[in-house]
């Protein structure tokens, strides 16, 4: 037996490919699935939590491949201590995440969701209606990119292509040498986040959730932004302090926000209550990796990563 376990359920086409390469893969519903820590050598993970305690209890585990770029649901430090190789899949959903960021910025700037709601409920709209009057132009505006990886690069290019935007970028970890992809993207790089906040019209976040990025955006920083500014979070929920963001929206400290990444996912009214009623909040339920073609490509790449490691090849996209 290969000892490969799928901790979660994946898309049909990707699952078919997984079964072709690993005919004896143990999937949810299999009698042996609940006892996977006793026998798993390789683990496919999507949304399930893999805690330090679980990793410590594993007996044969050597490889974990995370279905997607983020891996905050897996204790990477515990993997390192246990000698388990953890890989992620960066870049596959990057194009769609960038498109979502562009769509959220457009929806926020034109108040599209609130206008749609008002039309559906039969409200009378005229030029005095706040949701009409406050619609803003994006062409020629300044866009701040926090996180200069693949997604940040694509998002910057889309803001330039769609809106002739001026790009400012903050990422203390991206190299500045001639080999950097940012050399082909017109932009101004800032050394500290505070240099970017007062200037940008749209702030778009594209960083992983780490100890260094948790609560990266808080109320004191939001107060430094323009009152007309838009915040876009297509990264991870914990990157923005949510309570601080809700305060900023209620008090009109910033104009609006487009949120695709939440602390509690999927976001529900039971958890978020009247936050769902904020008219200057555009909400999506973490759809960056949702298109079927993205799901399939991600699953197939996940399977390929595992197969290569099982065959003794060096791990690709290794986290630890």
> Residue 1 class from Cβ within 10 Å (0-12 exposed, 13-18 middle, 19+ buried)?
exposed
What is the total residue count of the chain?
Answer: 320
Q: Where are the alpha helices (DSSP H) in the chain?
A: 12-21, 36-39, 52-57, 76-82, 94-110, 112-120, 130-133, 150-163, 219-222, 242-250, 269-272, 292-310
Active-site residue among 251, 265, 293, 318?
265
Q: Are 208 and 261 within 8 A, CB to CB?
A: no
Which among 15, 17, 41 is positioned nearest to 309, based on CA atoms?
A: 41
Question: Is 206 labeled as catalytic in the residue annotation?
Answer: no
Is 228 strand, coil or helix? coil
Query: Partners of 281 in the beta sheet?
Result: 257
Any idea what the Cα angle at residue 36 is, between residues 31 and 37, rounded to 5°? 150
Question: Is 265 labeled as catalytic in the residue annotation?
Answer: yes
Any idea what the Cα angle at residue 218 is, between residues 110 and 109, rounded to 5°? 5
Active-site residue among 66, 67, 150, 236?
236
User: How many other C-beta atoms are found inside a 10 Å radius of the C-beta of residue 298?
Assistant: 23
Residue 26 DSSP symbol: B
Any idea what the Cα angle at residue 304 is, between residues 301 and 306, rounded to 5°? 115
Question: Is 67 labeled as catalytic in the residue annotation?
Answer: no
Could you give the CA distance from residue 110 to residue 136 in angstroms, rounded to a whole number? 6
Active-site residue among 166, 206, 286, 305?
286
Could you give the CA distance from residue 27 to residue 41 in angstroms, rounded to a whole number? 14
Catalytic residues: 236, 265, 286
């Amino acid at each position: 037996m290969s000892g490969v376990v799928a901790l979660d359920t994946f898309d049909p086409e990707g699952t078919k490919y997984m079964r072709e390469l690993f005919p004896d893969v143990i999937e949810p519903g299999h009698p042996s699935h609940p006892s996977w820590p006793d026998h798993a050598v390789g683990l496919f993970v999507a949304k399930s939590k893999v805690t330090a305690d679980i990793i410590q209890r594993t007996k044969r585990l050597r490889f974990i491949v995370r279905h997607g770029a983020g891996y905050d649901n897996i204790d990477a430090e515990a993997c390192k201590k246990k000698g388990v190789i953890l890989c992620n899949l960066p870049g596959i959903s990057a194009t769609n995440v960038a498109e979502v960021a562009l769509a959220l910025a457009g929806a926020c700037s034109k108040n599209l969701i609130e206008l749609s709601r008002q039309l559906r409920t039969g409200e009378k709209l005229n030029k005095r209606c706040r949701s009409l009057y406050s619609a803003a132009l994006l062409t020629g505006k300044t866009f701040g990119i926090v996180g200069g990886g693949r997604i940040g690069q694509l998002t910057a290019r889309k803001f330039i292509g769609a809106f002739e935007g001026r790009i400012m970028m903050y990422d203390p970890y991206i190299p500045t040498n001639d080999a950097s992809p940012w050399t082909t993207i017109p932009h101004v790089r800032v050394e500290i986040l505070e240099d970017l906040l007062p200037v940008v019209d749209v702030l778009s976040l594209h960083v992983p959730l780490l100890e260094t990025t948790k609560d990266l955006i808080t109320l004191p920083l939001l107060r430094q932004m323009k009152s007309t500014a838009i915040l876009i979070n297509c990264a991870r929920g914990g990157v923005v302090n949510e309570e601080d963001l809700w305060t900023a929206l209620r008090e009109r400290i910033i104009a609006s926000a487009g949120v695709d990444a939440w602390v509690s996912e999927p976001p529900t009214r039971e958890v978020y209550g009247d936050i769902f009623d904020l008219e200057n909040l555009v909400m999506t339920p973490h759809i960056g990796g949702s298109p079927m073609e993205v799901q399939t490509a991600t699953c197939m790449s996940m399977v390929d990563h595992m197969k290569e490691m099982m065959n003794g090849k060096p791990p690709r996209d290794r986290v630890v």
